[in-house]
Amino acid sequence: MRRRLYTLAAACAAFSLAAGCAPDSVESVRATGLNAYLQTVAANCQPLYIGQMLYDKSIDQTFDNSSQTDIVQDMTSRLYYGRMSPSQFREAMLSSWPGERTARSVDCMIAQLPPERPSSPGGRY
């Protein structure tokens, strides 16, 4: 399980470096749509479990310095900006952190998506 997590983390890191993108919630404070979505998820999807980790405030407000949080933030950003379909997001999350609690949280996150989303944040610093 740990090996798979490390492999996924390495793959995401390599892809992020190649694509020149970090999780938009970290890279851009002007990602207001994404930030609003994350706040909606935090309000409507409690308890929000991804694997064994409980995100009791919000995915973007968790400062646990774990690679899991970085990966979850990145995948959630990709979902929000349409770079990953809801089914791809669900499959990726459940292959990394299987379990019923994760499935319920992921399904709730998908249900909170606004019908129209931008393809990128409004601006970057």
Over residues 34-66, the pLDDT tens digits come to 888 999 999 999 999 999 888 877 676 555 556
pLDDT at residue 64 in the model: 56
C-alpha dihedral (42, 69, 23, 5), degrees to nearest 10? -130
User: Which is more confidently placed, 71 or 111?
Assistant: 111
Of 75 and 121, the structure prediction assigns the larger pLDDT to 75
pLDDT greater at residue 1 or residue 86: 86
Percent of the chain with pLDDT over 90: 42
Q: What is the pLDDT of residue 25?
A: 43
> What's residue 105's pLDDT?
96
- Cα–Cα distance, 36 to 13 (Å, whole number): 25
> Would the pLDDT of 88 be above 80?
yes
* DSSP conformation class of 45: S
Look at residue 102 and tell me whether its pLDDT is greater than 70: yes
- pLDDT averaged over every residue in the chain: 78
What ranges in the chain are assigned the alpha helix state H? 2-19, 24-27, 32-44, 67-80, 86-96, 100-111
